Every structure is written in structure tokens, then in C-alpha cells.
Chain A
Amino acid sequence: MAAPIIRIDNITKRYGPLTVLDGLSMEVLPGEKLALIGPSGSGKTTILRILMTLETISGGHIQVDGDQLYHMPKNGSLAPADERHLHRMREKIGMVFQHFNLFPHKCVLDNVTLAPMLTKGVPRAAAEKRAMELLDMVGLADKAKNMPAQLSGGQKQRVAIARALALSPKIMLFDEVTSALDPELVEEVLNVMRKLAAETDMTMLLVTHEMGFAHDFADRVLFFDRGKIVEEGKPDDIFTHPKQERTQSFLRKIIAAGHRV
């Protein structure tokens, strides 16, 4: 079996007196599609944000692709990572946000080309060629010159996916990417992600409330509650035969709220 691409070892995250993650450990294999589910405030989004270095950790270690994320070797021991180390580590990871976070002052094409040109020194022509391929993949090649304000929510999120892919990360983080969308726009985004999962061997971590999609998409499902993994397993096991009482009651509530499993 391949070595894990992400190894989270006993991490803790506190906001003042509030402990969000409490001694959490988990591993993700290369190419694995992982769904993180659980009630709000259970810490699942925090894990993605920590992996993207948007939050720091209060304790523990994280290894990504063989290197420490928040630490670097110094004089034979581990020191806190500096900005350059984080910069190098972020190359491996991409993230898509709940609220798209497109740059409103740049057209769709420039949104996608900006980071490759700035961070990897890709020449404009090559960056635009790659961007057009990606926009074509998400079905938005004809919107390349539009501004984000002219797009629907679903289109914005597809652009955001193309933008993250343009940096060719090994790991992609999807943070509730359909939660801010009108219901009829959810499917077009999910379709893009299905395609992505089928066509690439990227490692994907998905925080979602779309249980049906998590079922189809994921190799493994983790159920979170209060900063801990309560239960994990194959989608079929988690969704049809959850062992823990907490998982059962969560899934019951989600189904009662009208989510398809």
C-alpha cells in the first residue's frame, strides 16, 4: 500500500477557550476521495482550512506529501515553518470555497491565469491555453471574457474549480462547495466534480452536506462530531449501516431535512 499523502498526527485547534479539534489523527492515501460529514461546528471545515494554512494548529503535526506542513527541519530538530516553507507546501494543495471567492475585478480567464503566471512564472500565452482547456472542461469556455458578476452561482463555482486546478495541485480541498448555490445549480457543479474524480488521480477531500453525492463520490467517509472522528468507513457502510448511535441520529436528521442519501 502506498504511503499516506496526508498524515495528521494528534492535532489540536483552539480558539481561545473553545477547542475545535481535540487530538485528531487521520491519514489520507494518494488519489483517495474522502468525504467529511458531520454537524456544523464539528471541525470538518477547520481541517480543510488548516491543510490550506488558513488557520494554524495549536498542537500536533501534519505531514503532506512527505514534508511537515507547519514545521521545518532546523539544526536537527523541528522549528515552526516560515513563510517560504508554507509557500512551498501550498504548491501541493488547492482549495475551492463555499462562496467561490473569485476576484471580481478580473475576467474569468484572468481569474484562472493569475496564479500560474505569478507563482510559477508561466508565460501568458501558455497560461491562457491551459486556462481555456480547464474552462472547457468545466463547460465555461464561452464565458472566458465575462466578469464574475455576470455569472450564476454555479458558473462561478465552476470557474473557481478551474482556477484551483490551474496550479495542478496534488490535493484538492472542497469546502461545502454547493452550500451557497440555488438548488437547481447544485448538479452542474457536482457533475464537474464527478468528472474530475473520474479523470484524475488527485487526492480530494470534500466537506459536504450532500449525502447522496458523498455516497457516490467518496472512497471513504469520515463522520465528525465535536472535533473527533466518530465513525469512518466505506460509503455503503456509513450511510446504510452506521454503527454509532451519533451517526445514525445525524443521518436521520439530514434525511428528515430532505437530503437524498
Chain B
Amino acid sequence: MTDWSGYIGLILQGALVTLELTLMGSVLAVIMAFVAGLGRVSRFMAVRALATTYIEFFRGTSIFVQLFWVYFVLPFAGVTLSPLQAGVLALGLNVGAYGAEVVRGAVKAIGREQREACVALNLTRGQAMRHVILPQALPLMLPTFGNNAIELLKGTAVVSLISLTDMTFQAQVVRAQTGSTLIPFAVILVLYFLMALAISTGMRWLERRVTRGLDGVRT
């Protein structure tokens, strides 16, 4: 009879790494989504081209390949990253490219009438974006951002390939040591699911928060 408590502890340690990756990767992804998404609607051609190149490159190549480039190829260019840094960078850049299209779509969805009101009130383009367009676009982005965050969470499993001890990596270790596939993989199945559930619950709460007031009295 195997003593599971030690092995479960190992998997929970991996769960922490997965959480860490998801959190930091999401932060980077959100930053990239806004930078590139707003870059796509810039009035400067060079900025638009740069943003488009980033988005198409990172959407069009596999996260697996991107991770290997970041971790194994960048050192040849003199940039050596820890596995965690490499994981966060690859995940953040990859998911940020999807997020950028979400930002662009939501910004475009705020109609001509709102933009014209901003011109008539003599707001600069930056002021209009910050005070009028983005506050209305944000609620439109959140549902898809929730999707992206869950995708990012599940994407973290690929970092086990660069020997980062995330949840999937630890499950493999436990499987190798105990010969049991069922238990470690049932445990991480439940853990992944719970994390995804936490993300979608959090996003729903956030959605309610940012849409509050659109039909009510200012609090």
C-alpha cells in the first residue's frame, strides 16, 4: 500500500507553481493585450504594423515552439531566463496576442456616436479613449478575457517540458514513482478544474462590478 500523503503534497507544490505561472502570465497577457490591441487601432501605420506582426506571429505559431525558443534559443542571444521566467514570458506573450484582438474588437464595438460626442466636446483622442471608450469597452472584453485566462491556465502544462515543476510535471513524477496513473491524474484533473472554476467565478464577479451603474443610480 502506497503512502499517498507525500505524493499528494508533491502535486500540491506543483499546483502552487501552476498558480504562480497563471497569475504572472495573465498579468503579462493583459498588459500585452492592451498594448497591442490599442496599437492595432493607432492612427500611426508603423504602430499598427508592429502590433499586427506581434499578434499574427504569436497566434500563428505553437506555444510549445515559442516556449522552446524563449528557454533554449534566447540564451544564444545572451538572454538566459529561469524556467519560470521563460514560462511566464511565453504564456503571457502567446495569450496576450489573443487578448489584443479582444481589446481591438471591444474598442471598435463602441460606436461612432460616442466618438463623435467626444469630438464635439473637444476631447483629445487619448482622453476619449481613456474616459469614454475604454470604460464602455471593458465590460465587453471580460467574458473573452475569462476564456483566455482559462486557456492560459491549461497552457501552463507545457512548461513541464522545460523541467519546470508545475502540477503536470509533478503528476508525471508521482506516476513514475508509484506506477499509478489514475490517482495523480485524477488529482490534477480536479485541481485544474477547480482553478478554472475560480477564474470563471472571479470573472463573473468582475463583470457584475464593471457593469453596475450602467442602468442604476451612481453610488
- Residues B120 and A145 in contact, CB atoms below 8 Å apart: no
- Residues A53 and B119 in contact, CB atoms below 8 Å apart: yes
- Residues B114 and A145 in contact, CB atoms below 8 Å apart: no
Complex-state Cα separation, A167 to B116, whole angstroms = 16
Task: Specify which chain B residues have a CB less than 8 angstroms from the CB of A147 in the assembled complex.
Answer: 213-218
Residue of B nearest to A52 (CB): B120
A104 at the interface (CB under 8 A from B): yes
Complex-state Cα separation, A163 to B217, whole angstroms = 19
- Residues B124 and A87 in contact, CB atoms below 8 Å apart: yes
B165 at the interface (CB under 8 A from A): no
Task: Specify which chain B residues have a CB less than 8 angstroms from the CB of A93 in the assembled complex.
Answer: 120
Complex-state Cα separation, A95 to B123, whole angstroms = 13
Q: A54: shortest Cβ distance to chain B, in Å?
A: 5
Task: Specify which chain B residues have a CB less than 8 angstroms from the CB of A119 in the assembled complex.
Answer: 121-123, 127
Q: Provide the B96-128 mask, 1 if CB < 8 A to any CB of A, else 0.
A: 000000000000000001101101111111010
* Residue of B114, B117, B218 most packed against chain A (CB within 10 A): B117
- Range, interface on chain A: 20 to 34
Interface of chain A residues 86 through 120 with chain B (CB within 8 A): 87, 90-91, 93-95, 97, 99, 101-105, 107, 110, 114-115, 118-119
Interface of chain A residues 129 through 186 with chain B (CB within 8 A): 145-147, 149-150, 163-164, 167
The interface on chain B, measured as residues whose beta carbon lies within 8 A of the other chain's beta carbons, has a size of 22
Complex-state Cα separation, A94 to B120, whole angstroms = 6
- Residues A103 and B117 in contact, CB atoms below 8 Å apart: yes
Q: B110: shortest Cβ distance to chain A, in Å?
A: 10
Residue of B nearest to A87 (CB): B122
B136 at the interface (CB under 8 A from A): yes
Residue in B119, B213, B214 whose beta carbon sits within 8 Å of that of A90 in the complex: B119
- Residues B217 and A150 in contact, CB atoms below 8 Å apart: yes
- Residues B132 and A103 in contact, CB atoms below 8 Å apart: yes
- Residues B116 and A54 in contact, CB atoms below 8 Å apart: yes
Complex-state Cα separation, A88 to B202, whole angstroms = 45
- Residues B121 and A163 in contact, CB atoms below 8 Å apart: yes
Task: Specify which chain B residues have a CB less than 8 angstroms from the CB of A164 in the assembled complex.
Answer: 120-121
B131 at the interface (CB under 8 A from A): yes
- Residues B116 and A101 in contact, CB atoms below 8 Å apart: yes
Complex-state Cα separation, A97 to B117, whole angstroms = 8
- Residues A118 and B127 in contact, CB atoms below 8 Å apart: yes
- Residues B123 and A118 in contact, CB atoms below 8 Å apart: yes
Complex-state Cα separation, A167 to B117, whole angstroms = 13
Q: A143: shortest Cβ distance to chain B, in Å?
A: 10
6 nearest CB pairs, A to B: A101-B117, A115-B121, A95-B120, A107-B218, A90-B122, A149-B215
Please report A residues at the B interface, Cβ cutoff 8 Å.
52-54, 83, 87, 90-91, 93-95, 97, 99, 101-105, 107, 110, 114-115, 118-119, 145-147, 149-150, 163-164, 167
5 contacts between A and B (CB under 8 A): A90-B122, A101-B117, A115-B122, A150-B216, A167-B122
Known: A87-B124, A97-B116, A147-B217. 4 other contacts (CB 8 A): A118-B131, A119-B123, A150-B215, A167-B122
